[in-house]
Amino acid sequence: MTGSDFVKITVLAENTSCADDCGCEHGLSLFVDADSSRILFDTGQTDLFAENARKLGAALDEVDMAVLSHGHYDHGGGISRFLELNEKAKVYLSRYAFGDYYSEKYIGLDKRLSDSGRLVYIGDDELNVGGVRLIPWGTAECAHPSFSGGLSKVEEGVTMPDDFRHEQYMLMEHNGRRVLFSGCSHKGILNIMERFRPDVMIGGFHFMKLSADGEGREQLLHCARLLGEYPTEYYTCHCTGTEQYSVLSSVMGDRLHYISTGMTFDI
């Protein structure tokens, strides 16, 4: 994947849709078509990603590898369907992905899939797969807030705040530029940017819980100014929130793009 001549990304599932014939749902699924391989990044909440892939001409049976960003239903709900449609690709996910994760109700993955021989579990260390780097957050410290409060996990019967050890990021190089994919950025988009410093950032920023008015707006404007200090092109979606995106865009201008179901773009 290093030094790919082209990378085309098709949005198979996202909270909004820009295509009349493609449905949308709360979730995320991206089809990454590079000159050397095809990657499915997340599978959305349901089988919708597969239906939209058929309409958009994204050949899921030709996918070489699938990557799950973290262990929540709206990113891994379509794993079972993908395994039915594709007979060869492995699914790379965190060893912690099948934990008991909650936001008032259970929001984790279908545990019946955990023993599938097609799943490759990644521990706390980075894994390089054909030039694609899959990087867990691990125990790295966070200097900035994450805005991911209210999400929890249960371990040995004890409920505690989710530390998102199940979150991982996909980093690839394209024409000398570092391209980072993040499903929800639960560890905080500012922390992620500070650690990876990518040239292109693609994914959700998890700002939906911040109000676009009042104190929330001020926090969004502050984040936008800090994000704008990096020479990065941003493609955001899903858990960023459309109202929140508008606030960010007022500061970041044309360096920030919103991607919707049915959209295809090149980087």
- Flag whether 113 is in a domain: no
CA dist., res. 30 & res. 7, Å (int): 12
How does pLDDT run across 122-167, given as a tens digit for each residue?
A: 999 999 998 999 999 987 888 888 887 789 999 999 999 999 999 9
183, 182, 185: which is closest to 147 by C-alpha? 185
Rg from Cα positions in the chain: 17
* Most confident region among 4-8, 36-40, 241-245 by mean pLDDT: 241-245
Q: Got the DSSP string for 178-200?
A: EEEEESS-TT-HHHHHHHH--SE
Identify the domain containing residue 98 by its residue range.
7-107+118-266
Residue 125: CATH number of its domain: 3.60.15.10
Is residue 112 situated within a structural domain?
A: no
In a domain, 2, yes or no: no
The per-residue pLDDT for 4 is 60
Domain count, the chain: 1
Per the domain annotation, does 172 fall within a domain?
yes
Residue 79 lies in a domain: yes
User: Residue 217: its pLDDT value, please?
Assistant: 96
**Residue 254 — pLDDT band, cuts 50, 70, 90?**
very high
Residue 135 belongs to a domain: yes
pLDDT of residue 35: 77
CA distances from 182 to 20, 21, 189, 206, 236 (A): 27, 27, 9, 10, 10
Assess if residue 217 is contained within a domain. yes
